[in-house]
Amino acid sequence: MTNPSGGEPPRILIVAARFYHDIADALIRGATEALGEAGASHEVVEVPGAFEIPAAIAMALADRASVQYDGFVALGCVIRGETTHYDYVCGESARGLQDLAIAHRLPIGYGILTCETRDQAWARADVDRGNKGADAAQACLTMVQLARRFGAARPA
């Protein structure tokens, strides 16, 4: 996806959960390649797990005076285990991101994989197969364009 508006290239913050570091690396690779192809600049910050992603984006918003991003890409992986921890992490990270997106009119590309097995996660994260990192980056860029169209770019 290119920048058809002809405006300033988007600045994107990728927030990546490192709990499954190898899967996170594949997601980051897919996202950064897609953003590069679109001419967008990006920065990557890492957090321990998917649960921490919404808080990291909220922290970036608190520092809007010095750093401005047009959109965010949330990347991570949650694999079901033997307890209900999976359900809480998946639900709360998704809810936190959606709450941020709505409250602050934020373009957020959602790339948190929620899988039953590591094989399922790899099938989605691998840049030569599912490439969900690229999908999340492209979703973010699409929402950045929409925000610019409606005058909601770089919300406070």
Q: What is the CATH number of the domain that holds 24?
A: 3.40.50.960
Q: By residue range, what is the domain housing residue 34?
A: 11-149
pLDDT at residue 40 is higher than 70: yes
Instruction: Write the CB contacts of 86 (distance below 8 Å, at least 6 apart in sequence).
Output: 78, 79, 80, 114
The tokens for 53 are: 């992603």
Cα separation, 1 vs 38, in Å, equals 5
Catalytic residues: 85
- Is residue 1 situated within a structural domain? no
Is 115 strand, coil or helix?
A: strand
- What pLDDT is attached to residue 153? 63
- Is residue 2 situated within a structural domain? no
Chain position carrying tokens 């169209």? 149
Cα separation, 72 vs 95, in Å, equals 15
Tally of domains within the chain: 1
Cα separation, 72 vs 107, in Å, equals 6
With bands split at pLDDT 50, 70 and 90, how would you rate the model's confidence at 3? very low
- Is residue 96 situated within a structural domain? yes
Letter for the amino acid at 138? Q
- Is residue 15 situated within a structural domain? yes
- Is residue 156 situated within a structural domain? no
- Is residue 56 situated within a structural domain? yes
- Is residue 154 situated within a structural domain? no
Question: Each residue of 87-125: pLDDT tens digit?
Answer: 999 999 999 999 999 999 999 999 999 999 999 999 999
Cα separation, 2 vs 13, in Å, equals 18
- Is residue 101 situated within a structural domain? yes
Q: What are phi and psi of 30, to 5 degrees?
A: -60, -45
